[in-house]
Structure 1
Amino acid sequence: MEKKRQIRITKIFVLPLLLMLFFIVLVTFGSTWFTTSSVNNISCLDDGWSISREDKTVENVNLLDYKIGNSKKGEVITISKTVFANSGESSLMFKSFLTTVAVYMDGELIYTYGLDYLNNNDFIPKKYNIVTLGRPGYHDLSIKYVVGDDNFSEKFPPIYYGSKYELIGYFFNYKRTSFFIGAFLLIYSCLSFSLWIYLSLINKGSSQLIIGAFFSLLLGYYVYAYNDITCIIGNHAMLFSVLEYMTFYLMPLALTILLYSLHANVANHRQKIFIIINIVYPIVFMDMHFTNYVHIHRFLPIVGVLAVLEVLCLLPALVHGVIMKQKERMIDEYYPGVDAEVYLLIGCIVLMVFSLFEITNLYIFKVNEVITKPDILSSLNFMELGMLFFMMCHFIYYFMNSIDHMSENRIKAQLEGLAYKDALTGLMNRARCSQYYATLTGDYAMVSLDLDKLKYVNDTFGHLEGDRMIKSFSELLMQSFDGASIIGRTGGDEFIAVFENPTADVCDKSIRRLEAAMDKFNKEDDIISLSASYGYAYSYEVKSKKHQDVFYLADQRMYKMKEEHHG
């Protein structure tokens, strides 16, 4: 018992420790805080800006420190600075969200974005603006923002300077950890979908697998969208921005359905209520967004509060349910000692904790991400690490759950073998043969065999030699009737073999092989001599096709041969 307890403890802690080691390696070698060089050909234009708004101008402002404060829809904010362009490929890169952008160089308009959305009173999506300055030399640069929604932001996003390709390359270099996590989640989703399709085709599909694949897809896309990777690689700003919010709003639904599929009996009514809520509010939010009643970004606090309520209401009950289920399984005779659901629960808890930490980091510490000045709080997204950890735990859960089922099936098969196999010979016993007969359809052939002189050997040489005689005959029978669908021992000296979809001479050939094997055995054994009486019948020989009638015919032919042997 002590050894089993130690094994169980090892199973609980070894894989989480390996996962934590993986994350340490990921953070150490994948984080830009450790690996991105500060010596590069791009820079952040943060100092020396003039900011004009509502007929007021503030000079020599650090853009990253300036607090926008309250802003109203339609308000115009202009930032200006003198910049030096090294070459005709010198460019600016900066993000905008809920604002239009107009870039002027020496008073000339060179770039615009978002005016059509503003004129139509639409939601202005997120955009990573890349503006080529064109002419080398010093230039007066002005960027005019028109606010598209009240209180669009607390600070201006950083503005980076460099060549276009260097800016994009540095962006992906800085975001490579997020790029890796997003790719992992999307690939895992595709593999899970493919596996689910294959298993469904063989009637072994798993709801947990398809729900996990959908959840991983949501997480993977959200990682790419949140980190602006979709803005860089695509031109469909509105589609990408709306999908970013919708994937975030659908995450609680996917997670609650996944947990419900595992523990439907735990807090059943609460789980169903939250699933319904998680279905309804994305539909309502989308309707309100597309009717321009309230834009989709306004619902983030509501979803956050609902997510916290769901965690507080469901997580304790689920933890208690898993613990109770494990206690029940430990007394089950089929329990293989694999605690698969523990890992999924650990992943869920880590995801929640890391998400809360990231929200705290974002909204309380208000860390401003600057890719040219990486630090540990801005370059690592703990919510993404939580997502990666959860999906790896989901993989471990599914892998170990599969092992769990295979172990249970193996144990059941072993117990069924004890119930349905003859202990002496390893052949199927009478009970198993009776079960098998009931499944027979189509054409088949039955061979009834009776081992001769068993009573004489038992009386003369003892039961040990009689048992050896039975085992020896059984071994030869299995070798000679290797194409049989089932071979059984139905009594002390009585045996049966069945061929499904037999050829016309399969019974004769098998019997000839058995007779040859017995002759060889008899030449080598000085004590016992093997011989048998047999009879066979094909299902087409019996009008009713019933296995009872086919067996009766084969048995009658066997007894006729037995009389000849004894006569």
Structure 2
Amino acid sequence: MNKRFILPALTALAILAAIVVFCLLLVSHTQTDPMITLDSDWRTTINGTPYELIALKKLYHTYTSSLARGDHIVLSTTLPDIGDIPNPTILFRTRYTTLEVYIDQELIFEYGKDFYNANKFLGKMYHEIALPSRYAGRTLTFVMDVGENRAFSGLEPPILGSQADISGTFLHHSILILTTGITTFVFGFTFLCIALIFVSSVPEVISLLFGALSCMNLGVWLLTYYNFFSFLVYTDYETQIEYFTLYLIVPYCYVILYYLEDLQNDKLFKAIMYVSWGVPLAQYALHYLFNIHMYVTLPLYEISAVFGFGILLFFAYRTSKKKNVRTSSIVQLTGLLVFSVSVMTHLVLNLLGPIMYSYNTIFGRIVIAIGSIYYVLCHLSTYLIFITESYAKKQENISLSHLAYADGLTNLANRAKADSLMEELNNASDDYCILSIDLNGLKTVNDKFGHPTGDRYIKDFAKVLTNTFSDECFCARIGGDEFLVVMRDAATKDINALIDRMNSALNVMNALYTEYHRSVSTGFAFRHECKDGNSHKVYLLADQRMYERKRLMHEELGIKARF
């Protein structure tokens, strides 16, 4: 792996370790007071019909009909004495219902009545209900109005204990899902930042942006599906966020598969992908514009998920038969397949409902957590592989481009690069200056001392040239002893001072190294000196002035001109 990618990889692993440690520290809890689950001996009334001493988990055994909106449920039990506990609290999870809590006919808690009366969406939430200090032996009553058809077939039994023990124990027992949700979201956000950094230099990385967004979406769904927001950010809109993110899972999988399999020209797949995005958009429109709640349109997601899973299996099989498939594609497809299997398993457990209730709460969490973490790790691997390969390819192209446009001896721009710039200057509006430079005595040095010495003369001058003219100037070697400098916005520069500085540097070298004499002839011209601003004419004018100065210098020294 390229050294520049070791740091991002180690950083990603460090972030994962930090999140795990943070979550462990956050939810680390030692129970200090007694705590009890109130599952049995509930006196239940549904629409005026009494049912005696039932267990809430198995409510479907007693009430065999499906609940419908408007059904009225009353649950009551006698609170046991579990000792003198600080801040006695009841933890109870509602599922698409309102909630009124009474202690001996005294109302102590209320939730959802305004939503219910306005026919707004009532979701799932955990409620921490504070009890009076003297609670033992008193009657606890839950009154609920059902907000959705088939709202639930069983309820999680309430938990009685101190407020600190209830919150701490719940989060501690949910460490697997909590860590998975936070890790998935944070890694998705990290992937997104990495992709945005590289997208300008590696345009293909845009395909991985959707992978990052899908990880963030998955993390939010996990945290809202298991109602962690009830403890972190208590909001009435938690379940809406859950369904909003749930319905995006399938479309994101289609987009990832679209880029993964290079299906840009597959019209059928593109049509299916567009439909997959149209389904959640229609569900959102029905919810927010026509008050047809997202819970009602859940079967559309289930159908879309099953159909998408079949398509994914088809492409996974097709890819397995191909040869020379990129490693990054195999890794990402494997992660997508494992995640899809976990989602389908989770979906089946939910469809089985009360039959698999106890398995759904334990096995379902394990399956979805493993699938999500594997999905994230595959994305991490894909990022590192893809970016490493793409960056290496880009660097290779840059190297080849440099070889094509760089002078092999001096590493300055060559004549091809200079010609390209001259074409650009024809459209320039600034008053640029072109400086033509010719080395004096190069042929004599080659003849007397040999070509290696002549090459050293050229390289020494190239260093002087680049040191004299700032990075804003363009320097090129366009022939054996011919050099070119282009200065943009030349009105801000003292050209003669720069030439004097260059000559002074050559004189310093002559004083230090007396083997041969180093000097140059120069000539320069500005764009405004040529009426049409043609760069070639500006260069010819500068070159003409350079040769004129060389001729005068030769006359002064009594040297016969060679031009």
Deviation at 1:548, TM superposition (A): 1.0
Deviation at 1:536, TM superposition (A): 1.8
Deviation at 1:453, TM superposition (A): 2.8
2: CA distance between counterparts of 1:318 and 1:404?
23
Aligned residues: 535
1: CA distance between counterparts of 2:36 and 2:294?
34
Q: Is the 8 A contact 2:31 2:169 kept in 1?
A: no
Q: Is the 8 A contact 1:483 1:499 kept in 2?
A: no
Q: 1:463 to 1:127 in 2, by over 3 A?
A: closer
The corresponding residue for 1:336 is none
The corresponding residue for 2:294 is 296
The corresponding residue for 2:37 is 44
The corresponding residue for 1:335 is none
> Which runs of no fewer than 5 residues in structure 1 stay unpaired?
1-6, 330-338
Deviation at 1:195, TM superposition (A): 7.4
The corresponding residue for 2:135 is 136
2: CA distance between counterparts of 1:309 and 1:320?
17
Structure 1 counterpart of 2:407, from 414, 419, 422: 422
Q: 1:319 to 1:476 in 2, by over 3 A?
A: farther
Higher alpha-carbon deviation: 553-562 or 301-310: 301-310
Deviation at 1:492, TM superposition (A): 1.9
The corresponding residue for 2:229 is 230
Q: 1:437 to 1:62 in 2, by over 3 A?
A: same
Structure 2 counterpart of 1:256, from 251, 254, 277: 254
Deviation at 1:44, TM superposition (A): 0.8
Q: Is the 8 A contact 1:447 1:536 kept in 2?
A: yes
Deviation at 1:415, TM superposition (A): 1.0
Q: Is the 8 A contact 2:223 2:229 kept in 1?
A: yes
CA deviation string 1:32-69 (max 9, x = no partner): 9x97657753221123334455746444x444455444
The corresponding residue for 2:66 is 71
- Within a 5 Å distance, the mapping from 1:116-515 to structure 2 comes to 123-134=121-132, 135-187=134-186, 207-208=206-207, 211-212=210-211, 214-233=213-232, 236-237=235-236, 239-261=237-259, 263-265=261-263, 268-286=266-284, 288-289=286-287, 295-314=293-312, 316-317=314-315, 339-360=327-348, 366-368=356-358, 377=363, 380-391=365-376, 393-398=378-383, 400-440=385-425, 441=428, 442-482=430-470, 485-502=473-490, 506-515=494-503
Q: 1:80 to 1:425 in 2, by over 3 A?
A: closer
Q: 1:382 to 1:471 in 2, by over 3 A?
A: same
Q: Is the 8 A contact 2:96 2:147 kept in 1?
A: yes
Deviation at 1:353, TM superposition (A): 2.7
Deviation at 1:390, TM superposition (A): 3.1
Q: 1:173 to 1:536 in 2, by over 3 A?
A: same
Structure 2 counterpart of 1:518, from 484, 493, 506: 506
Deviation at 1:482, TM superposition (A): 4.6
Deviation at 1:434, TM superposition (A): 0.6
Deviation at 1:431, TM superposition (A): 1.0
2: CA distance between counterparts of 1:255 and 1:342?
15
The residue type paired with residue 279 of structure 2 is Y
> Is 1:82–2:78 an aligned residue pair?
yes
Please tell me the root mean square deviation across aligned C-alpha atoms, in Å. Answer: 4.3
The residue type paired with residue 93 of structure 1 is L
Q: TM-score, normalized by length of structure 1?
A: 0.78
The residue type paired with residue 251 of structure 2 is L
CA deviation string 1:500-530 (max 9, x = no partner): 2235764323332333333343444464332
Please state whether the residue corresponding to 2:138 is helix, strand or coil.
Answer: strand
CA deviation string 1:423-460 (max 9, x = no partner): 22222221111112122321222221222233333334
2: CA distance between counterparts of 1:201 and 1:527?
50
Deviation at 1:560, TM superposition (A): 1.5
Please state whether the residue corresponding to 1:353 is helix, strand or coil.
Answer: helix
CA deviation string 1:64-91 (max 9, x = no partner): 4554443342555544432135479433
Please state whether the residue corresponding to 1:154 is helix, strand or coil.
Answer: coil
1: CA distance between counterparts of 2:462 and 2:113?
89
1: CA distance between counterparts of 2:233 and 2:496?
73
Q: Is the 8 A contact 2:120 2:291 kept in 1?
A: no
The corresponding residue for 1:547 is 535
Q: 1:431 to 1:165 in 2, by over 3 A?
A: same
Please state whether the residue corresponding to 2:516 is helix, strand or coil.
Answer: coil
Please state whether the residue corresponding to 1:297 is helix, strand or coil.
Answer: coil
Deviation at 1:420, TM superposition (A): 1.6
Q: Is the 8 A contact 1:95 1:157 kept in 2?
A: yes
Q: 1:100 to 1:478 in 2, by over 3 A?
A: closer
Please state whether the residue corresponding to 1:136 is helix, strand or coil.
Answer: coil
Please state whether the residue corresponding to 2:255 is helix, strand or coil.
Answer: helix
The corresponding residue for 1:334 is none
> Which runs of no fewer than 5 residues in structure 2 stay unpaired?
none
1: CA distance between counterparts of 2:143 and 2:88?
20
The residue type paired with residue 153 of structure 1 is F
Higher alpha-carbon deviation: 545-554 or 89-98: 89-98
Please state whether the residue corresponding to 1:435 is helix, strand or coil.
Answer: helix
Higher alpha-carbon deviation: 283-292 or 523-532: 283-292
The residue type paired with residue 393 of structure 2 is E
Q: Is the 8 A contact 1:91 1:164 kept in 2?
A: yes
Please state whether the residue corresponding to 1:368 is helix, strand or coil.
Answer: helix
CA deviation string 1:372-418 (max 9, x = no partner): xxx9637x443245334434544554455444443223211211222
Q: Is the 8 A contact 1:160 1:167 kept in 2?
A: yes
Please state whether the residue corresponding to 2:356 is helix, strand or coil.
Answer: coil
Please state whether the residue corresponding to 1:351 is helix, strand or coil.
Answer: helix
Q: Percent of aligned pairs with the same residue? A: 25
Higher alpha-carbon deviation: 520-529 or 415-424: 520-529
Deviation at 1:367, TM superposition (A): 4.3
The residue type paired with residue 458 of structure 1 is N
Q: Is the 8 A contact 2:99 2:111 kept in 1?
A: yes
